[in-house]
Amino acid sequence: MGYLQGVRPPVLVSTLQDEINDLKRQETETKQEAETLGARVRAMSEALEAVKAELETGEANHRKLTDQAMKLREHLEKVEHA
């Protein structure tokens, strides 16, 4: 014979409450992990942008030095042939 409608066995209620509590704990942990990963991704993106800026500056400096070296070479060739 079944239980009366609206009456639940205490063991079932306790088990379901435990499962709900476990799921809530897992949800909280997952949210915290997602926030941590999001923060890491943002930090990595910022670091990547900083490295890109450094690289662009380095490339610009390299081009400038290369241009100066070529002009110096041209000047030295003119002086040698003068």
Assigned token pair, 41: 């991704």
User: Can you tell me the distance from the alpha carbon of 19 to that of 10, in angstroms, rounded to the nearest whole number?
Assistant: 14
Question: What are the structural domain ranges in the chain?
Answer: 25-82
Give the dihedral sign, CA 40/46/51/56: positive
pTM for this predicted structure: 0.60
pLDDT, mean of each 10-residue run, the chain (82 residues): 62 92 98 98 98 98 98 94 82
Residue 43's pLDDT is: 98
